[in-house]
Structure 1
């Protein structure tokens, strides 16, 4: 069970004595192998404050990859789990550059930290006094106040909100079960410029959002959706693909989605999950001169692999069955295989041992359907093109 921080704990951790104690505990290994012994040492040195110090050190270590530069920050476990990764928060802050922004669910300050570098004015508020005290420590450049997100405390300023989707480690995708509830939040700021971070699995069409829905991925994993009100929107759907090294790109439904109908080409492309979730597969294909294997399936294909795009060079195409695929992989001397499946009822984890691979090559298999037929493409391993595109 996660440690329950108090305002007194935050005050201690921010003090000179608390900072010294954190540095001392951070010298402990605190791995699975040493955890019990290290906690014993911390208890002997810091008595009842040991759990607070150990939890804080472990949370800082956990945050290092998600929030670079947060080595001296304070966290709660739930707040860290929900905190926006720095690359994603940085992207959102870029879209709001030069504006005055109020984060009405600022928590421990992950969004605020990005906003203070781009926004003209940054205000943060939260109903939780402990998280607000942590935000004051983490992001001293923001103006902070304690307030209920459903009670507006600012005017003529962009509102950013991140309703809590988890409590005690449990996640919800129900808009009305968020904290604060998404419908109530939208009503509270109706007519204002509003950006709301949500779970990407939310049914946005059913919710009836009339602005832009942006699906964001980071390093290949879909991380969030952001709802942008009409005054901040560009189109109704956007996919943004980010990488921790700072690279990234976006595509919207305002781009052309005209793609040809043709037989499978030399390459198969599995678009980033943000593109698929945003419903922009055809737009992505049109941008890069690709087309779909089947109009109902999200795989794309083409005769060239666009620059910066990962794909699979096709070696063979077969009618799918376990027996036929096993024989084909044996013929290619395959010993290790990556299996991608879309549009057919096949579990890669169950299929892999049935293939009885004994060869030396590493290959990829794309199993899908074209029309009503299940097909399998035996491919070279996934590769990313570095050639120059001509658009």
Structure 2
């Protein structure tokens, strides 16, 4: 296998004719094994290492150190370099960022005019696949499908959409995000003996047994699978569970034994242009599943209130509100050894059925009445009011989600 191209060689490509290397000059001999468009705030989970990253910053939050943190994560993850489009989202490169890039010999490349990143990725991917690598058919198929998935989830390349639809039969799609076992993360400090090509092979084999069209991409921390979803949801759900079981079996036979693979299933994509949204919800479902840990597979449609709560994970506003709403009961439980918070949750979960609540708590109805009266007095809340009741229910599950 011949070597991957260097950053210095890539800068000579026609698609880089308007680019400027502004720092990290001593790192231009870094090899580039792949190219990503990553307009997300925390990129480290999406890469293996030795990739060239392209960004406009459109997914960053408007805070002063966002780009500095972004570059720091790329350096830590052993990325080969960063290309930034100077524009609306990143109007200039802060001196602290260029200084960090120089310190770590990390090539920082800027485009001062608008460029089509999809053209850059297409050019470099074709070069890497067809010129620099003499790979087996399976490895080439793996890389080609990874190109497809990356372009599909970016949602902005009409050519890729058309070519993908031309070689796949369904018009309705679903995306799965499968978490890799903790000891097999491809960007971890420890060396994993299982190669991406092996994950690709067993995943493809497992899902092809149940789905006609299967596209697989192996990322640093998860496997992305794009599937036909033309069947009714319940049928599709059953097929996914069967394929997951087959994947577990193959993984145990050929890769590792023990840890169960977690899966997040995204919402339906009515066409190839909607695959990006299905991908985002699959990743979100996987994150929720890892928090909940009840079942191995979580379908986004079944995540309930957690779909809303998870949106506030990065800021603590919702958690603070939930804490304020419930702290008087929590304090009472701690001080007197009571079980009022759990009683309130079960009561609300049972849609205020006193008999069902008492049965689940293994207490007499009279005991339940006493507890509910204590809760009413402590909270000053009318549990017959649907708005107040909903607020308490959300507060309880917000606390549970953050404490998982």
Same-fold call, TM > 0.5? no
Tell me which protein shows more strand as a share of its residues. 1
TM-score (norm: length of structure 2): 0.30
